[in-house]
Amino acid sequence: MPQNHRKELSQLIQSGVIPSENTDQALLVSNVTPDNHSWKNFLSNLLLWLGVVALSSSVMFFIAYNWNDLGRFAKFGLVEALIAASVFIYWKTSKKDSTVSHAKQKTTRLIGQASLLAASLLLGVLLAFYGQTYQTGADTWQLFFTWCVLIIPWTVIARFPALWIVWLALLNLSLVIYLETFKGVFGFIFYSEMSLLWALAIVNGIALIAWELLENRFKWLSESWAIRIIALAAGTPMTFLVIESIFDRSASFLLPTLIWVAGMIAIYMVYRKLKPDLFMLAMACLSGISVILSFAGKVLFKGFRGDMGTFLLLTILVIALGGASAVWLKKVHKEQTLERKQT
Amino acid sequence: MNTQLIKSLADAKLLSDTITNTGEDLQLASPWYVKILLAFSGWLAASFMLGFLGSLFSRFYRNTPLLIGLGATLIIGAFFLLRNKKANEFLEHLALAISLAGQALLLVASFNTLKYQDPQTIWLLVGLVQLPLAIFMPNFVHRVFSAFLATIAFASSLYYFQESISGIIIYSAIIMLITALIWLNEFNLPKHLETLQAIGYGLVLALITIKGTNIFMHTDIWSIRVGSLQHSQWFQPWMGELLLSTITLFVVWKLLQKSHPKPTTKATILALGGALVLTLLSMQAQGLMTGVMIVLLGFSASNRVLIGLGVIALLFFISSYYYLLQNTLLDKSITLLILGITLIIGRFIMLKLLPEETTMEGAL
């Protein structure tokens, strides 16, 4: 998609700066209405991704159907052959050919990435089918963890953020299932209900830090949507951890709060100063509002036993915090827009 | 405002002669995530406000006329607060909270009168309250919320009224048509641009909920009537699918018309033919076309949020399709296989028939 002037153009049209008879032309001039070339690229990508997802899901559904007329070896053969075919397509497309145009190279690279994604998804199907056929007795978390470990090489060579997100999702999933199964075992180390939140916050927190540090070296990692998903995956359990520790007397309050405060300061330093990102600041505000309110709620309910004054105070507090956040975020947004214009 | 953009618009003589303001002092619209923050704190404030009103009027909670009066007053009060152009962020939050609290009071009043045995009327009332709010409440977040809830409420009412899903399929096709018309014409009514965009997002969110999840398909979210999976005599599911196919062709046709330079005849035939094949194939895999259409509408106006919502719709669709009970997994697997192969072949044909220099648009 070319540089996007959608928001600015919306305002110009709305305020009457662009007369309504010129709207269509203005949308074309500002690239808001994509040109034919962009349409073709976009549709080519859309068809490729939809096709790959449909084919991988088709295999997944087929194996899950457990069709008795087809023997297990035929099913293993089918899935393995498809994985081999996907890897073969990647191998064919990964060869560098300097004679072809840049656009063609980009398309070929995309096909390679799509085939590795398909191979990674199909590997999960193969593992699940293996477990089902031979009744290995493995726990569900082991399936996801093994899947996650086995696709590491493909994830590394694909240089493709979406596959890393799939990898991280598998790691998260195996952690959740593992801790759901064994929460009793580690109960003496962590407070059991909070161990899951700790694990998710730590794993995704490390992933976020690693991603941000490596981003300068590997330009292909600079995908804001991926970084934002990881930040949400780290920030959400951290926020719940602090809220839980506020309301739960048996849980330690100090450690989660200290880490949370440190995280908030880090977010401010990084995404306000070093690498401006309003999304991160907005989510940090959301986390801040939730924590401050939980704390105020606990103190007020304890002090006033939940009479109407408590509710009124909390209402005013939410409006004050929400309003102040919005004012600040809009100010930062304006600053960032001005800075972007100057550069 | 971007000076380069203003310059290119002025060079093309597209700016109004009478207006000297080139947008320097125009307000910057907040990004979607700042609006989510506003929605979240508005909702939180509304629930505390309800607690406050609850303890203030605890003795009158059975007094339906009082609840209706108070609820309506709060909503009207919020309307005037939001209409005030000079309103700041704090007043906006306050107004959202007041309106939501007022709506909750109206809901309590309708439960008082109708009890729990009549969900279809309660949902109808919710829809009838939300519809005017979506149109008239002068606030973006409020409009998104009301448009979403009105669409879901009417669907739920229809579902309870018919006790079948056939009506829902036709209903969602009509909602898709309204959504497409809104996004295709968002810039044609400058005075209502923000209203249209807000309602457009609300409708898209509702479509994802209805089509991307199975709430109306195999179980009942409220577990009141489980397994009422029958089709009424009058509305058959294929009617809804046929309607959706027609709407898809209409949207592709409109996108072709909007393109500049005009697409070649070959590209037009390819686009419409491709769209037709895809809609026919996805009749078995309903929900897919809804997701694809949201993505196409998003791309046609460089709307990244809409494209993102379309991708989310497609992911929801794949996972909910797995659990849909109408077909066996084998049938679904074959449908997806044919679909996947067709998509890849379609891509190949498109790239072969329309090389770089050829003008084309919207070929599916």
Distance (Å, whole) CA A147 – CA A126: 9
- Do B359 and B265 touch, CB atoms closer than 8 A? no
Q: Provide the pLDDT for residue B18.
A: 57
Top-confidence range, A91-95, A200-204, A218-222, B229-233: A200-204
Q: Which residues of A touch B15 (CB under 8 A)?
A: 17-18, 22
Q: Which two tokens stand for residue B358?
A: 């050829």
B173 and chain A in contact, CB less than 8 A: no
Q: Which residues does A286 contact at the CB level (< 8 Å), separation at least 6?
A: A325, B36, B37, B40
Longest CA pairwise span in chain B (Å): 75
Amino acid sitting at position A171: L
Q: Which two tokens stand for residue B215?
A: 């709430």
Does the structure show a pLDDT above 90 at B251?
A: yes
Q: Which of A1, A6, A14 to mutate to test the interface with B (most CBs of B within 10 A)?
A: A14
Report the 3 state secondary structure along A214-259: HHCCCHHHCCHHHHHHHHHHHHHHHHHHHHHHHHCCCCCCHHHHHH
A44 and chain B in contact, CB less than 8 A: yes
pLDDT digits (tens, 9 = 90+) for B60-100: 777 889 989 999 999 999 999 998 877 678 888 889 999 99
Does the structure show a pLDDT above 80 at A230?
A: yes
Distance of CA A2 to the CA centre of its chain: 24
ipTM, interface predicted TM-score of the complex: 0.84
CB B14 to CB A57 under 8 A? no
Q: Which residues of B touch A53 (CB under 8 A)?
A: 314, 318, 340
Neighbours of A148 (CB within 10 A): 22
**Which residues, numbered 239 to 298 in chain A, qualify as contacts with chain B under a Cβ-Cβ cut-off of 8 Å?**
278-279, 282-283, 285-286, 289, 293
CB B21 to CB A54 under 8 A? no
Distance (Å, whole) CA B119 – CA B222: 10
Per-residue confidence band for A308, with pLDDT thresholds at 50, 70 and 90: confident
* Beta strands in A25-172, from DSSP E residues, in sequence order: none
Distance (Å, whole) CA A228 – CA B31: 14
- Do B359 and B264 touch, CB atoms closer than 8 A? yes
Q: Which residues does B158 contact at the CB level (< 8 Å), separation at least 6?
A: B167, B168, B171
**Which residues, numbered 6 to 35 in chain B, qualify as contacts with chain A under a Cβ-Cβ cut-off of 8 Å?**
8-9, 12, 14-16, 19, 21-23, 26-31, 33-34
**Nearest CB to B2; choose among A8, A14, A53:** A8
Q: Which two tokens stand for residue A176?
A: 């959740």
Q: Provide the pLDDT for residue B228.
A: 43
In three-state secondary structure terms, A166 is helix
Distance (Å, whole) CA A60 – CA A63: 5
In three-state secondary structure terms, B92 is helix
Distance (Å, whole) CA B112 – CA B275: 49
Does the structure show a pLDDT above 80 at B303?
A: yes
Name the minimum distance, in Å, from the CA of A185 to any CA of chain B: 33
Overall average pLDDT of the B251-271 stretch:
86
In three-state secondary structure terms, A19 is coil
**Nearest CB to B302; choose among A13, A34, A57:** A34
pLDDT digits (tens, 9 = 90+) for B96-142: 999 999 999 999 888 888 876 778 888 999 999 999 999 999 999 99
pLDDT digits (tens, 9 = 90+) for B217-237: 544 333 334 344 444 455 666
Q: Provide the pLDDT for residue A326.
A: 92
Distance (Å, whole) CA A327 – CA A224: 24
CB A57 to CB B302 under 8 A? no
Amino acid sitting at position A186: F
